[in-house]
Amino acid sequence: MRVFAGFIKRIAGAACLGLVGMAAPAQAEIPDELFAALGLERNAAPNVLYEAIVKRYRDPEQGYSKGAFADLWEPIAFSKYMSPGLFYEGPDLDFEVSARECVECHQGVTPGWVHSWEKSVHSDLDEIRSLTPADSRFYKQDLIKQVETNLVSMGLLDEGQQLEEVGCVDCHMGIGAEGGNHKTDLHMPDAGDCGQCHLQQFAERESERDTAIWPQGQWPDGRPSHALSMLANYETAIWAGMEEREVAEGCTMCHTAQNTCNSCHTRHEFSAVEARKPEACSTCHNGVDHPEFENFMMSKHGVVYTAHGDEWDWELPLKEAFEKGGQTGPTCQTCHFENDGEYGHNLVQKVRWGFQPMKSIADNLDHEWFEDRKEAWIATCSQCHSDRFARSYFEVIDNVTIDAVEKVEEARTVMQGLYDDKLLVGQTTNRPPPPEPSKDAAGGFYALFWAEGNNPSAIEYEFTEMWEQRLMSVFKGVAHANPGGFTYTNAWSQLLRQGIRIRDEDTRLRERAAMLERIRKLENPE
């Protein structure tokens, strides 16, 4: 069996003392799908690979744009920081600056930036070069060499030349720049800028576009993913159509991963330690529609992290966290960065239920595409659990989620019947259409961000909450092994409650319609 063989491979050579220790998986290879999509050989030179990736990354036809509904909305002032490549304009400060002057000036203007940068690896690469193998950060010496190899290939560094630091101008004006004009040369970096140095990680992240190709078209190609997260935001109909643009930017704030690596590696320290901790994910992966962080923290995994995380060596890379770093339980990164024993920045290679369980997924779980991904997940879980245990719990995950999807579909049938029969409150008298490009629907997603007259009606809002939030609460609770998270706490019980209310309202509205018809006939006998 592939999974069992993979497990044996992982633990071979690991120390045994009561329990088998976790072996250190290798660094991930860039998925083959990316090379195929770009028409490149795997041995492509760094400059060739980078140019191909960044060309696609910044292509307006492939996601670097305002999306399909661009004519319906305009950016606000804050938008320039969410999508700098599209909207950023530098401050009106027309003067020349040198690299060192940036630091000197900003020590007074924005000292927080400078303090963060001074704590970063970027500020002193020689400190890393001086480390001994006993230091947990020693592995970064190889990363620096990899960066220098990339830059030599791109013509940005001479052969044999060493980087001294990565300063303000390297990111904000261009790698190796001595300085420039603060008004015309300054730009806000995007992920493509980071990718010049961090090509491996950039390529891994961008490969999400090529590995999230759903067999029955459940999601658009490459989604859901970090790589196309902003496009997904811009092409959400109500986001583009709503008038309250500041509210809309609240959604945007959690869709910035496409545009910037800063979403996980906060500027200007860009800490790998920070990015390895669950809190790095929590800003976006929380709340009623995707409560991953809450469910992780309340699970046994989260308890182990809370109780013992301060004892772990977070400076070590993920692949060495258990064997050398004292880690005794998984984090978000342990499970979601790992695939087939390797760790990388493609987080969608094992995605099965996506970011919204739906009938078209539930009906196709026996398809090879879904089965292969389940096996990959079981291999991940089998690094700490037995294969048999992991398989038994995946039965729980899938069956609980299928049950929840069925409850939603039952309610959907009822709601669609009310809509088709024009029985919803105010449907024939007080139902303005939602803003374009949203289309009127029974419990459409727009109900969470727009309301006028009786659109949506109260029961429709209930249904929208049911399919968009409560269903996700059930799935995220069971997937993250938080017992209350998929039973009592805002999950299964509340899902049933919403179904009950919908059926009650269906009965009430239909009885009312029948009564009104009887009255009409009494008042207007034939």
Binding-site sequence positions for heme c: 102, 105-106, 122, 168, 171-172, 182, 194, 197-198, 226, 251, 254-255, 261, 264-265, 268, 281, 284-285, 301, 332, 335-336, 345, 381, 384-385, 480
Coil, helix or strand for 50?
Answer: helix
Gap between the terminal Cα atoms of the chain: 76
- Residue 191 CA to residue 270 CA, distance in Å, equals 13
d(CA 471, CA 354): 13
Phi, psi of 295 (to 5 degrees): -70, -35
AA letter at 28? A
Query: How many C-beta atoms surround the C-beta of residue 59 within 10 A?
Result: 11
- The helix (run of H) or strand (run of E) holding residue 176 is none
Q: Is the peptide bond before 456 cis (omega within 30 degrees of 0)?
A: yes
Taking the C-alpha atoms of residue 2 and residue 438, their distance in angstroms, rounded to an integer, is: 46
Which residue spans within 185-236 are E strands per DSSP?
A: none
SS3 17: strand
Peptide bond into 437 cis (omega under 30): yes
Cα atoms in the 13 Å half-sphere on the side-chain side of 326: 10
The CA-based angle 54-60-65, given to 5 degrees, is: 110
Query: What type of residue is 139?
Result: Y
Q: By C-alpha distance, which of 229, 331, 315 is closest to 280?
A: 331
Report d(CA 380, CA 280) in Å as an integer. Answer: 21
* 344/338 Cα distance (integer angstroms): 7
Annotated binding site: 102, 105-106, 122, 168, 171-172, 182, 194, 197-198, 226, 251, 254-255, 261, 264-265, 268, 281, 284-285, 301, 332, 335-336, 345, 381, 384-385, 480
Alpha-carbon span 200 to 377, nearest angstrom: 23
Interatomic CA distance for residues 46 and 350, integer angstroms: 27
Is 457:412 a contact under the CB 8 Å cutoff? Answer: no
Helix 2-11 / helix 387-420 crossing angle, nearest 10 deg: 130
Question: Mind giving me the DSSP string for 67-107?
Answer: -TTGGG----TTHHHHSHHHH----S---EEEHHHHHHHHH
Whether residue 435 is preceded by a cis peptide bond, meaning omega within 30 degrees of 0, is no
Residue 272 backbone dihedrals phi, psi, to 5 degrees: -70, -35
Q: Report how far residue 259's alpha carbon sits from residue 230's, in angstroms, rounded to the nearest whole number.
A: 7
Closest CA to 217 of 364, 404, 377, 339: 364
**The residue to which tokens 């067999």 are assigned:** 215
DSSP 225: S
